Amino acid sequence: MNNHDIDYKIYGDDMQFVEVELDPEETVIAEAGSLMMLEDRIRMETIFGDGSGSSKGLMGKLIGAGKRVITGESLFMTTFTNEGQGKKHVSFAAPYPGKIIPMDLSELQGKVICQKDSFLASAKGVAVGIEFQRKLGTGFFGGEGFIMQKLEGDGMAFVHAGGTMQKRKLEAGETLRVDTGCLVAMTGDVDYNIEYVGGVKTALFGGEGLFFATLRGPGTVWVQSLPFSRLASRVFAAMPSKGGDKGEGSVAGGIFDLLGGDRN
């Protein structure tokens, strides 16, 4: 592989950003909208494709861009290249409270499967594609749809998790059941399926939905405590109804205003 060998430093605790150090002619690739700041002599360029930098021709680039659309991402990615003489720095911010997870793909068998919204940035040469789940249950009930993202290569990639993140290494045959929204990423050797939560009372009153993600080792998985979908649902649940209290001193009223509510 021809991945660029980038250095990095992560700042912050709950609202993190990652600063990438680029040597001359080194390049980092990021999702649109993740840029925080960059130094002089770093060139920005919008590209089609998966970011691997391999020569695929126009059709290959269009296919790569089309795969990103299927996962719900933008058609475009942005590259940042150091055109100066010395080291330069560019920083990327997490989209909501949580942790930025650095992943050295050379130490993870060259492939990581992750939620479609978790990818933040990577070294040039890392291919950002899609992973089709072979099992029907995963596609219909997995919470993240039939498709997840996959990161392939031997360079650094940065993934974002909401809330607190835990990394779990599963031994051969070891099984972990996870709420589908809390699964951030897993190595390519983990067996991933959806398991029905039995019992009518559990399904109706358990509050955790009808299905779990069942992860079977060997391999490594990353789990988040606060998926964005859960955060958003709690915020909207706290919004007042039309006849409710929207007073200046109420917390609900403040959230209502923050989300663009109309008090009139």
183, 149 Cβ separation under 8 angstroms: no
Token readout for 197 is 């939560």
How does DSSP classify residue 51? Answer: S
Rounded to a whole number of angstroms, the CA Rg of the chain reads 20
- How many CB atoms sit inside 10 A of residue 182's CB? 22
Closest CA to 151 of 75, 13, 243, 51: 51
Residue located via tokens 């089309």: 66
What is the C-alpha to C-alpha distance for residues 100 and 97, in angstroms, rounded to an integer? 10
Closest CA to 195 of 260, 143, 234: 143
Token readout for 19 is 């600063």
Q: Where are the strands (E) in 124-182, listed by range?
A: 127-132, 147-152, 156-162, 165-170, 175-179
Q: Which residues of the chain fall below pLDDT 70? A: 1-2, 49-75, 132-147, 197-210, 241-264
How does DSSP classify residue 106? Answer: G
Closest CA to 131 of 186, 213, 204, 176: 186
pTM over 0.85: no
pLDDT of residue 128: 85
pLDDT of residue 186: 95
pLDDT of residue 93: 95
- Characterise 20 by phi-psi region: left (phi > 0), alpha (psi -120 to 50), beta (else): beta
pLDDT in tens, 218-257: 999 999 998 877 777 777 888 776 655 544 444 555 545 5
The residues spanned by each domain of the chain are 7-163, 228-264
84, 24 Cβ separation under 8 angstroms: yes
Closest CA to 121 of 20, 203, 24, 190: 20
91, 17 Cβ separation under 8 angstroms: yes
Four-way CATH pick for 7-163: 3.40.1130.10, 3.40.50.720, 3.60.160.10, 2.40.110.10: 3.60.160.10
What is the C-alpha to C-alpha distance for residues 254 and 250, in angstroms, rounded to an integer? 6
What is the C-alpha to C-alpha distance for residues 220 and 107, in angstroms, rounded to an integer? 11
Closest CA to 181 of 230, 233, 140, 221: 230
pLDDT of residue 74: 57
What is the C-alpha to C-alpha distance for residues 46 and 74, in angstroms, rounded to an integer? 11
Burial of 75 (0-12, 13-18, 19+ CB in 10 A): middle
